[in-house]
Structure 1
């Protein structure tokens, strides 16, 4: 079962009894049941389980000019990740791979300090570039990792990117291959409560993992130095302002399909402080033994 990371069982399957399927796949970390029989709604499953990387790249490319001004939480996350990484750093890294560098929000935290390191950045789009330092590669990290040579980097970092991966466990295993012993893996992603207000209305959400699930994905041969999570709530004047915020940070494609717009405007929760939008960042720092 090591090559399977997600199992979906049809609750009313009369060909393969759900109870037998659950027992057969009990060792797979992520197993869930859905309504339906032996032939469920495949298109809906594919849309919820497979990330459209082309669409993701286009969304972030279109928001490049507005991202830094509006990605207030992502900036805070990048600063927190750099703080945790720095606190667990035992020596200056010689080579750094940053995944999902985007506009350089995390890069700007560490590059002025780690001036002797060779920096390589991977990002889906070539329209977004971080600082003019190191080597920038355009492409899908889940594919690029296969071509990287063993022991290429002593540090791999990523802020607010891994939630867009189709198979994070497989990527982390591949990342282990290209890391040197003693190297640091430092990343942030998001947990189940991320943008919970929107997903409660639309029923649409990325496939988020819990802190424990992320820790369980860390490959053998690593020790986990830090595993932290927090919830950050922003307040907006109206649901419309939230949709503009999502557009300007490049994530509106997941949460605001056109047929949900009216529901969002009507059903979105309103508090005395305004309309809330929750972010649920999770930070993992691990060292390869």
Structure 2
């Protein structure tokens, strides 16, 4: 029932998530931010930038929604980003994200040091600004992906994000350990969260 006119999506990638919501945001002003080039098949404005820095340049009360699918785990400070979103969003505005929980890549525990930050429900709750209310879904369910070989697993990791781990960003010892131990399965632990601006920022 709330009119949405200005939306920012962070890290659209292939546009899979974008196309899932475009149908019910007709007429909205869309802006896409990414560290990499953004496909011409997506509508709206495109901006190659660091989202954590770009949000600081937005005017107060200038957006209705800020959305990100599988992107915020790369942020240096999700808490600082959410605080900025609280300033930028109009009353009732929302930050809608999907990210990954602590069970993600548990098969590689002790082998790699994740560059991503995986948060559980308590971790996200602690980062919620006073001006926002958190609604989230983390029922503990996970999804596993099986690969033909450890080499296929390593190729998958290198293709699914920037600096996902020490194994995919040039750590030869970690990669060799994965191959030696014949690890061919990865677990993903999806977490979904909506932060709603309930009152003005102090």
| TM-score in same-fold range (> 0.5) | yes
Aligned positions of 1:150-161 closer than 5 A? 150-161=60-71
Q: 2:173 aligns with which of 256, 259, 267?
A: 259
Match of 1:9 in 2: none
Once the 2 structures are TM-superposed, how far is the Cα of residue 128 of structure 1 from its aligned partner?
3.0
Corresponding residue SS for 2:111: helix
Q: Alignment RMSD, CA only?
A: 1.9
Q: Greater CA radius of gyration, 1 or 2? A: 1
Corresponding residue SS for 1:183: strand
Is 1:225–2:139 an aligned residue pair? no
Is the CA contact 1:198–1:268 (under 8 Å) kept in the aligned structure 2? no
Aligned positions of 1:179-190 closer than 5 A? 179-190=89-100
Corresponding residue SS for 1:181: strand
In 2, Cα distance between equivalents of 1:268 and 1:243 = 11
| Regions of 4+ moved over 4 Å | none
Is the CA contact 1:202–1:260 (under 8 Å) kept in the aligned structure 2? yes
Corresponding residue SS for 1:202: coil
Once the 2 structures are TM-superposed, how far is the Cα of residue 259 of structure 1 from its aligned partner?
2.1
Structure 1: which 5+ residue stretches go unaligned? 1-89, 270-274
Is 1:250–2:161 an aligned residue pair? yes
Is the CA contact 2:34–2:48 (under 8 Å) kept in the aligned structure 1? yes
Match of 2:18 in 1: 107
In 1, Cα distance between equivalents of 2:39 and 2:125 = 30
Give per-residue Cα distances to partners, 1:29-49, cap 9 Å, x unaligned.
Answer: xxxxxxxxxxxxxxxxxxxxx
TM normalised by structure 1 equals 0.62
In 1, Cα distance between equivalents of 2:7 and 2:19 = 13
Match of 1:148 in 2: 58
Q: 1:207 aligns with which of 117, 127, 134?
A: 117
Q: How has the CA–CA distance of structure 1 residues 104 and 216 changed in structure 2, closer, same or farther, with 3 Å as cutoff?
A: same
Is the CA contact 2:69–2:98 (under 8 Å) kept in the aligned structure 1? yes
In 2, Cα distance between equivalents of 1:213 and 1:170 = 14
In 1, Cα distance between equivalents of 2:190 and 2:40 = 22
In 2, Cα distance between equivalents of 1:173 and 1:94 = 21
In 2, Cα distance between equivalents of 1:139 and 1:277 = 30
Give per-residue Cα distances to partners, 1:59-101, cap 9 Å, x unaligned.
Answer: xxxxxxxxxxxxxxxxxxxxxxxxxxxxxxx434111111112
Corresponding residue SS for 1:170: helix
Q: How many residues align?
A: 194
Structure 2: which 5+ residue stretches go unaligned? none
Between Structure 1 and Structure 2, the one with more helix by share is 1
Is 1:165–2:78 an aligned residue pair? no
Q: How has the CA–CA distance of structure 1 residues 267 and 205 changed in structure 2, closer, same or farther, with 3 Å as cutoff?
A: farther
Match of 1:123 in 2: 34
Is the CA contact 2:38–2:46 (under 8 Å) kept in the aligned structure 1? no
Match of 1:35 in 2: none
In 2, Cα distance between equivalents of 1:252 and 1:168 = 17
